[in-house]
């Protein structure tokens, strides 16, 4: 079967034998380089918010479309229907014309919205066709973030004909993912090649995209797999460069799909694509002589999705290579099956180690070594101490907030100030004090803490807070990254961005071990990091006198992200029982049950009603609060969608639905901030009355710890 252009319908390609309801692959491919109303566009809007033209997004999308037409293969899963929307630059348009590619539509807001409706309507709705089909969504173009929601911008973004900028005329990637995970089509794959950095004009309006995706029928069967690969992590930028024909993400993905990710069995699954693309992007970045980094962001629910298969080289039919031998990847040859596993793993580990070293060097290069201060000091001891704050933080605008006591810790249990609950271990900064890295140790506390940076003079949104976990009997290391800059020309520098990660601790083997796994997962291979993780060491972090549940939780979340939580069996139930006040542990136990159900175990761990047990664990958030780890919040959101299709008692289903509404508000009110949830003082959410007053600390704690309406 092959795709042919459908006359009279711009951008529509179909198999000549296509009929409504036919099983197969249904694709929506979008590439936008030319944005007429952005900087250097044909008719730029009065305010473009720093958004400009792109170099290679349309070409990248066209290459992905050509790959689908010519090179995609999977047994009994042909590509039968596709919409192609491109907004090329002049150079790209000339290339397309020369190649005879003219059958595409324009991805402006109205046509993109219509394309989404056509695509979602075309995919089969009823089995067996639905279960034997796949949806594919590819977008390359401008993207932004509004709080924790990634948004995709159409070609006519900021069209001035509407008067005031219609900032909401865009599309939510979170809405796309929700449609995928609730749609009965057997498999879904989305590839999102766009930036995700914070777009303050939308975020400060507490606004997002208009809805565009249909609501799936209730109680529809869950898809076997729903996988999304974003070109960069939350609040980060994706890159393309002059002289490079494709975006970095697009080049890495196409290399992976054309054989680069093959480990010897000619099948390329989603996690193999991730493992190839993640380090490859940074190799490509290094090749253009830049110290930048870009970390792809995978999300996968259900079974591992086989993205494509490779055609076996003719030589494999006539000749079987010795197990120890390998052959070049050139010319369609592949690594022999006998050596593939070892070779692939060692290659991934070597690349990860190289990138970790390179990334570490790049990070260190941002700081002046002569300005780094490594002696410990209690957080409270910085207050009123000009000598210590100036020596550590340098410029007045960076140090004054610490000196004035506007950096405070509050208990998440009751909001009380914890004067002696943390100390500063080290501070690294650049000469301008515009990027400041602070390593904190949070003292023992049973309930978690809220770290608050306060004051309109020092903080862009009047207040930035991050919810952090604590251990009941020992310190927890936290690494903060503070970005301090003017919000506009002529304004004084203020704290613009706050990020926090669980950090290393040379004196604590649990946290140091976890840090090494985290670096490999972020810079190299998540799957290799999960394979290297020792479940017994992760369990020991909590078993060791019940001192280190935060380390155990973080380790289990890493396994969950890699689809490897089954390696610890039902041990997450122990974590929940030992630390009932820790909502992340309940989410992990629910995920252990869901993982076992996906493997076909009807009574996992001897649980009679696993879906009800899962719902009960998730509903416990109503008593203990939202998870503190961002990954746990994402998992909980996915679990709510899963449980909507489960036969639950009415009262329990209502509690799960209430958790889902609370999570949605959590996404709308929080910012990406490393491992944890960052909450700004402004804008004040509409459900809290709106207005211009910044959220107070007790309101932020209430948002995290009590569901709406309580």
pLDDT in tens, 648-694: 999 999 999 999 999 999 988 898 889 999 999 988 888 887 788 99
Average predicted confidence (pLDDT) for the chain:
87
* Spatial CA neighbour of 227 closest among 293, 159, 297, 301: 301
Angle at 18 between CA 12 and CA 22, to 5 degrees: 115
Mean pLDDT of 317-332: 28
Higher pLDDT, 353 or 473: 473
**Assigned CATH for 515-669:** 1.25.40
Q: What is the pLDDT of residue 365?
A: 58
Q: Is the pLDDT of residue 243 over 50?
A: yes
Neighbours of 416 (CB within 10 A): 10
Average pLDDT over residues 244-262: 94
- The span from the CA of 659 to the CA of 707, in Å, is 7
* Rounded Cα distance, 305 and 593, in Å: 20
Other CB atoms within 10 Å distance of the CB of residue 17: 9
- Strand 143-146 versus strand 149-152 pairing type: antiparallel
- CATH 3.40.50 domain locations along the chain: 4-238+291-317
Lowest mean pLDDT among 12-26, 240-254, 487-501, 642-656: 487-501
Residue 503 has which token pair? 């950090």
Q: How far apart are CA 417 and CA 410, in angstroms?
A: 4
Helix (H, G, I), strand (E, B) or coil at 204: coil
pLDDT at 336 over 60: no
DSSP 660-696: HHHHHHHHHH-EEEBTEEEEES-SPPGGGT-SSSPPP
Tell me what pLDDT residue 329 has: 23
**What's the confidence (pLDDT) of residue 351?**
39
Q: How far is it, in rounded angstroms, from Cα 346 to Cα 524?
A: 12
Report the pLDDT value the prediction gives residue 328, as an integer from 0 to 100: 25
Whole-angstrom distance, CA of residue 628 vs CA of residue 594: 21
pLDDT tens digits, residue range 89-127? 999 999 999 999 999 999 999 999 999 999 999 999 999
pLDDT confidence of residue 339: 23
Tens-place pLDDT, residues 513-537: 898 888 888 777 888 888 889 888 8
Closest CA relative to residue 667, chosen from 656, 681, 682, 678: 678
Model confidence pLDDT, tens digit, residues 135-152: 999 999 999 988 888 999
Mean per-residue pLDDT, 565-586:
92
Residue 635 · residue 594 · CB < 8 Å: no
Residue 206 has pLDDT above 70, yes or no: no
Could you tell me the pLDDT band of residue 307, with boundaries at 50, 70 and 90?
Answer: very high
CATH topology of domain 4-238+291-317: Rossmann fold (3.40.50)
- What angle is formed at CA 466 by the lines to CA 171 and CA 657, rounded to 5 degrees? 55
Q: SS3 for 424? A: strand
- Residue of 630, 618, 625 whose CA lies nearest to 672: 630
Q: Where in the chain is the domain with CATH 1.25.40?
A: 515-669
Percentage of the chain modeled with pLDDT above 90: 64
What are the tens digits of pLDDT across the range 540-559? 887 765 778 999 999 999 99
Stretch 130-134: mean pLDDT = 96
Rounded to an integer, the average pLDDT of 314-336 is 29
Q: Which two tokens stand for residue 54?
A: 């792109």
CA distance 89 to 32: 8
First and final C-alpha spacing in the chain: 57
Average pLDDT over residues 564-589: 93
Cis before 128 (ω within 30): yes
């Amino acid at each position: 079967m092959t795709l042919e252009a459908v006359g009279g319908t711009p951008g529509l390609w179909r198999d000549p034998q296509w009929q409504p309801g036919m099983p197969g692959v249904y694709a929506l491919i979008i590439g936008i380089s030319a944005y007429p109303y952005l900087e250097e566009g044909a008719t730029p809007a009065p305010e473009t918010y720093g958004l400009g033209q792109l170099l290679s997004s349309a070409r990248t999308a066209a290459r992905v479309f050509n790959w689908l037409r010519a090179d995609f293969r999977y047994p009994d899963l042909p590509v039968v229907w596709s919409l192609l929307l491109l907004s090329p630059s002049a150079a790209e348009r000339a290339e397309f014309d020369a190649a005879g590619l003219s059958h595409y539509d324009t991805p402006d807001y109205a046509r993109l919205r219509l394309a989404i409706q056509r695509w979602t309507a075309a995919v089969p709705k009823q089995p067996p066709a639905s279960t034997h089909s796949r949806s594919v969504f590819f977008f390359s173009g401008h993207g932004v973030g509004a709080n924790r929601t990634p948004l995709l911008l159409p070609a006519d973004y900021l069209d001035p004909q509407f008067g005031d900028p219609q900032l909401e005329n865009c599309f939510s990637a979170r809405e796309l993912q929700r449609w995928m995970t609730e749609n009965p089509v057997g498999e879904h794959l989305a590839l999102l090649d766009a930036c995700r950095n914070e777009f303050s004009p939308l975020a400060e309006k507490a606004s997002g995209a208009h809805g565009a995706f249909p609501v799936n029928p209730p109680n529809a069967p869950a898809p076997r797999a729903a996988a999304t690969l974003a070109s960069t992590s939350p609040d980060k930028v994706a890159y393309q460069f002059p002289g490079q024909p494709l975006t970095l993400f697009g080049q890495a993905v196409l290399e992976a799909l054309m054989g680069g990710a093959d480990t010897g069995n000619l099948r390329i699954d989603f996690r193999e694509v991730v493992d190839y693309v993640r380090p490859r992007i940074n190799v490509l970045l290094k090749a253009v002589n830049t110290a930048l980094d870009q970390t792809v962001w995978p999300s996968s629910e259900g079974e591992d999705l086989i993205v494509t298969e490779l055609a076996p080289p003719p030589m494999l039919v006539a000749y079987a290579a010795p197990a120890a031998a390998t052959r070049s990847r050139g010319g369609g040859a592949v690594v022999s099956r006998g050596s593939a596993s070892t070779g692939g793993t060692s290659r991934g580990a070597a690349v990860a180690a190289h990138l970790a070293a390179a990334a570490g060097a790049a990070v260190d290069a941002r700081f002046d070594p002569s300005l780094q201060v490594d002696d410990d000091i209690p957080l409270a001891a910085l207050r009123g101490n000009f000598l210590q704050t100036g020596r550590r933080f340098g410029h007045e605008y960076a140090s004054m907030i610490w000196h004035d006591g506007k950096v405070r810790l509050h208990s998440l249990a009751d909001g009380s100030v914890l004067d002696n609950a943390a100390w500063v271990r080290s501070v690294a900064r650049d000469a301008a004090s515009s990027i400041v890295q602070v390593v904190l140790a949070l003292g023992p506390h049973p309930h978690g803490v809220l770290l608050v940076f306060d004051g309109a003079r020092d903080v862009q949104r009047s207040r930035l807070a991050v919810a952090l976990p604590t251990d009941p009997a020992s310190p927890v290391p936290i690494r903060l990254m503070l970005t301090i800059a003017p919000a506009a020309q002529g304004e004084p520098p203020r704290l613009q961005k706050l990020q926090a990660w669980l950090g290393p601790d040379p004196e604590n083997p649990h946290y140091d071990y976890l840090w090494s796994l985290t670096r490999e997962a972020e810079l190299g291979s998540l799957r290799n990091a999960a394979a290297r993780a020792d479940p017994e060491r992760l369990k020991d972090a909590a078993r060791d006198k019940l001192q280190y549940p935060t380390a155990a939780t973080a380790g289990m979340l890493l396994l969950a992200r890699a689809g490897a939580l089954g390696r610890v069996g039902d041990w997450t139930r122990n974590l929940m029982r030992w630390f009932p006040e820790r909502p992340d542990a309940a989410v992990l136990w629910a995920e252990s049950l869901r993982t076992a159900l996906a493997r076909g175990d009807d009574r996992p761990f001897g649980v009679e009603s696993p879906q009800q047990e899962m719902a009960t664990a998730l509903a416990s958030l109503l008593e203990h609060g939202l998870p503190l780890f961002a990954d746990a919040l994402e998992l909980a959101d996915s679990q709510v969608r899963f449980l909507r299709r489960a036969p639950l008692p009415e009262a329990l289903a209502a509690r799960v639905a209430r958790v889902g509404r609370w999570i949605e508000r959590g996404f709308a009110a929080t910012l990406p901030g490393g491992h944890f949830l960052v909450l700004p003082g402004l804008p004040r959410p509409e459900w809290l009355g709106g207005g211009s007053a910044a959220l107070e600390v007790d309101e932020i704690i209430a948002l995290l710890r009590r569901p709406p309406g309580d």
